[in-house]
Amino acid sequence: MNHMHHTDTPHPLPVSPHRDGLSRHGQWRGLAIGVMLMGFGLSQAARAEEKEMGPYFTFDGGANWVQSVSATSGGFSGTADLDVGGRFGMAVGYNFHPNVGAEFETGWLWNNFRDSDFSLTQVPFLVNGVFRLPNRTGFEPYVGAGVGGMLGYFGINDCCGDFDNDFVFAWQGKAGVTYRFHPNMAVGLGYKYLGTAETDYNVFGIHTHLNTLHNHSVSVVFNMKF
């Protein structure tokens, strides 16, 4: 009797029909979606940058302290002290870049000389460069520096007061932080150092010479973009 041996025929690896066209179609679709999303993200970033650029106005007001100054008046030389006074300022500028802007600043600083009837008023005319660091927190630190001129008024505060003025070179540095509570408005706190060259005044026929002045002010700052 012949015994027949049956050998199991191996089954081929189960595969699905070729779907190369469909696979490539899915890849192209994914790539297109990725490009669209990237373009949308870039357009949003560009719009955000555009919002940070453009013209702006800044207002600040606070206290001003002047360091003791070497002075000569009526033939006498020594050191003069000034009481803490005030400072009001405003600037109009333009942000050329989300981080960089330039501005023109003016204002008014006033201080009385201690234990006397004399006072000093300073009016700055400055061109500043400003660097800002906008971010998602809303708090925006900034630093800046500028140069220009200072118109000084020196005189006596009484009914018969006499004043004289002098215009000299001035320089400034500033820093602070603002908080954006509105897309176009921010409020914060700022510090300014303002230095001026030596000045000369003649009041009631008495010549007074003031050496370099060093002003320090701390102010509330308000900024508005247009």
Do 44 and 92 lie in one domain? The reply is no
Output the domain CATH number for residue 62: 2.40.160.20
Q: Decide if pLDDT at 167 tops 50.
A: yes
Q: Give the domain range for residue 219.
A: 53-225
Do 125 and 34 lie in one domain? The reply is no
Q: Decide if pLDDT at 84 tops 60.
A: yes
Tokens of 70: 């070497």
Domain presence at residue 1: no
Do 79 and 35 lie in one domain? The reply is no
User: Mean pLDDT for the chain?
Assistant: 87
Phi first, then psi, for residue 136 (nearest 5°) are -75, -15
Q: Cα 187 vs. chain centroid, distance in angstroms?
A: 12
Max mean pLDDT among 6-10, 73-77, 102-106 falls in: 102-106
What is the pLDDT, as a whole number, of residue 52? 77
What is the pLDDT, as a whole number, of residue 161? 74
With a pLDDT cut of 70, the percent of the chain lying above it is 78
Residue 19's pLDDT band, with cuts at 50, 70 and 90, is low
Do 176 and 98 lie in one domain? The reply is yes
Do 141 and 217 lie in one domain? The reply is yes
Domain presence at residue 9: no
Q: Decide if pLDDT at 204 tops 70.
A: yes
Amino acid identity, residue 52? E
Tokens of 100: 């960089």
Instruction: Report how many domains make up the chain.
Output: 2
The DSSP element (H or E) to which 92 belongs, if any, is strand 85-97
Residue 41's pLDDT band, with cuts at 50, 70 and 90, is low
Do 41 and 59 lie in one domain? The reply is no
Calpha distance 132→145 (Å, rounded) = 12
Do 69 and 101 lie in one domain? The reply is yes
Do 111 and 211 lie in one domain? The reply is yes
Do 33 and 85 lie in one domain? The reply is no
Which range is least confidently modeled, 52-56, 178-182, 197-201? 52-56
- CA distances (Å), 91 to each of 55, 128, 130, in order? 11, 9, 12
Do 95 and 205 lie in one domain? The reply is yes
Domain presence at residue 79: yes
Do 101 and 37 lie in one domain? The reply is no
Compute how many other C-beta atoms are within 10 angstroms of the C-beta atom of residue 78: 9
Q: Buried b vs exposed e over 86-96: b needs ≥16 C-beta within 10 Å?
A: ebbbbbebebe
Q: Decide if pLDDT at 6 tops 60.
A: no
Q: Domain ends where: 10, 36, 52? A: 52
Do 106 and 170 lie in one domain? The reply is yes
**What is the average pLDDT across 158-180?**
92
SS (H, E, C) 10-74: CCCCCCCCCCHHHHHHHHHHHHHHHHHHHHHHHHHHHHHHHHHCEEEEEEEEEEEEECCEEEEEC
pLDDT digits (tens, 9 = 90+) for 88-147: 999 999 999 999 999 999 999 999 999 999 999 999 999 999 999 999 999 999 999 999
**What is the average pLDDT across 34-54?**
62
